[in-house]
């Protein structure tokens, strides 16, 4: 009787140990992916009295390669030639950024719709759609 109870407890212990090991392995895999993943985003800010810029940056821990930007068709505030001269951006390291000049006037739209795409060690063609507010004043 004691042997049967002991064996049952031993089986439960082994199953619990197996499940905990699986959880730990999964957690380690996620942490490794986070170390390799890039996190690209953008924002608009006023740099001086009548000077506005859009900053594209990588806040992830991995390199962002082949960073591309697509702006809505009725874009009136970013010069397409400037976009074409800077993008695709070959490599945006962690905490690195690049900027685009904005040409904002009173009749400019209040928002700018942007799509960012990039590759990193974990995935190709990551994408982020942003609806950026255009500051005035």
Q: Are strands 40-48 and 64-71 parallel, antiparallel or unpaired?
A: unpaired
* Interval 43-56: pLDDT, tens: 999 888 878 899 99
Q: DSSP character for 134? A: P
Token pair for 64: 């962002």
Collapse the DSSP code of 80 into the 3-class scheme (helix H, G, I; strand E, B; otherwise coil) and give the result. Answer: helix
Given a contact cutoff of 8 angstroms between Cβ atoms, the answer to whether 87 and 62 are in contact is no
Of 67, 100, 69, give the one whose Cα is nearest residue 82: 100
Tens of pLDDT along 73-106? 667 788 888 888 999 999 999 999 999 998 887 7
Parallel, antiparallel or unpaired: strands 40-48 and 111-119: unpaired
CATH number of 38-133: 2.60.40
Q: Write down the pLDDT at residue 73.
A: 67
pLDDT of residue 129: 94
């Amino acid at each position: 009787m004691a042997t049967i109870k002991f064996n049952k407890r031993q089986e439960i212990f082994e199953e619990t140990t197996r499940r905990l090991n699986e959880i730990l392995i999964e957690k380690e895999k996620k942490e490794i992916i986070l170390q390799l993943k890039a996190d690209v985003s953008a924002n608009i800010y006023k740099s001086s009295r009548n000077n506005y810029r859009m900053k594209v940056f990588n806040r992830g821990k991995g390199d962002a390669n082949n960073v591309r930007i697509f702006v809505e068709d009725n874009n009136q505030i970013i010069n397409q030639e400037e976009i074409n001269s800077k993008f695709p951006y070959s490599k945006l390291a962690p905490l690195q950024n690049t900027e685009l000049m904005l040409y904002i006037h009173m009749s400019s739209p209040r928002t700018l719709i942007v799509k960012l795409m990039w590759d990193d060690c974990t995935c190709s063609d990551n994408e982020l759609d942003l609806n950026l507010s255009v500051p005035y004043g």
